[in-house]
Amino acid sequence: MTDATFPQVRIVPHRLLKPVTAESLLNNLAGITGVRRILVRGPGLPENVPYGPARGNPNPHHDRRTINVGDTEIALRVQVGEVILEVEDDSAITEIRSICDNFFVNFPYQVQMGRFMKTDPTLVDYARYGPDADPDLIGLADPRSRVGPVIIRTE
């Protein structure tokens, strides 16, 4: 369990972001001091068709690309629908808002504050990472995914 409670912010654009737009936004957000974790959520982009008559066939999609955030290459497996950030303290939230105000000029967005990531280990976290899991990974496990989260260290 984590002892500290960190503020969380959810950025919800009113449309799905293209990979180039998501890469630019994530690079801007990753540069903020005080950001602990970033979670990107949205509809999945499976490599193969998961169900229906074409099940198992390749699923070509132009938004499934590799983006660069900082010095890390990330294979984008979702269409970016929302970005959730966990920050050290409230001072980073004003910087997040100003970056979003300058970034989202062509379409609307919302910035919400609340609790959007799990902070205590769940059964899925225990099954995937064990009893001595890294606190930075708590709440990021997807039970259906076969690959783990991408870790970007900025120190």
Domain ranges of the chain: 8-112
Contact 92, 35 (CB under 8 A): yes
> Domain 8-112, CATH 3.40.50 — does that match?
no
Residue 91 in contact with residue 19, Cβ under 8 Å? no
Digit-coded pLDDT (tens) for 63-101: 999 999 988 898 898 999 999 999 998 889 999 999 999
pTM reported for the whole predicted model: 0.84
Cα-Cα-Cα-Cα dihedral of 61, 41, 142, 28, to 10°? 100
